[in-house]
Amino acid sequence: MRRAGSGRGAGPGPGVGGRGRAGSAAGPENLIGALLAIFGHLVSSIALNLQKYSHIRLAGSKDPRAYFITKTWWSGLLLLVLGELGVFSSYAFAPLSLIVPLSAVSVVASAIIGIIFIKEKWKPKEFLRRYVLSFIGCGLAVVGTYLLVTFGPNSHEKMTAENITRHLVSWPFLLYMLVEIIVFCLLLYFYKERNANYIVIILLLVALLGSMTVVTVKAVAGMMLVSIQGTLQLDSPIFYIMLVCMIATAVYQATFLAQASQLYDSAQISSIGYILSTTAAISAGATFYLDFMGEDVLHICMFALGCLIAFLGVFLITRNRKKPVPFEPYISMDAMPGMQNMHDKGIAVQPELKASFSYGALENNDSMPEIYTPATLPIVQEQHGPKGVSAPPYRVLEHSKKE
Of residues 73 and 136, more confidently modeled: 136
Asked whether 313 and 139 are in contact (CB, 8 A), the reply is yes
Query: In this predicted structure, which of 137-146, 224-233, 249-258, 328-337 has the lowest mean pLDDT?
Result: 328-337
Question: Going by C-beta distance under 8 Å and a sequence separation of 6 or more, which residues neighbour residue 255?
Answer: none
d(CA 277, CA 106): 15
> Is a pLDDT exceeding 70 seen at residue 55?
yes
> Is a pLDDT exceeding 50 seen at residue 71?
yes
- Average of pLDDT values for 30-42? 92
d(CA 249, CA 209): 6
d(CA 99, CA 90): 7
Give 20's strand partners. Answer: 156
pLDDT tens for residues 310-367?
Answer: 999 999 988 866 555 544 444 444 444 544 444 444 444 444 444 433 333 333 444 4
Domain extents in the chain: 21-156+297-321, 158-288
The reported pLDDT for the residue numbered 118 is 59
The reported pLDDT for the residue numbered 391 is 52
pLDDT tens for residues 92-104?
Answer: 999 999 999 999 9
- Model-level pTM? 0.71
What crossing angle do the helices spanning 266-288 and 104-118 adopt, rounded to 10°?
A: 160
Of residues 388 and 228, more confidently modeled: 228
pLDDT tens for residues 129-188?
Answer: 778 888 899 999 999 999 998 898 887 788 999 999 999 999 999 999 999 999 999 999
Report the mean per-residue pLDDT for the chain.
77
The reported pLDDT for the residue numbered 20 is 44
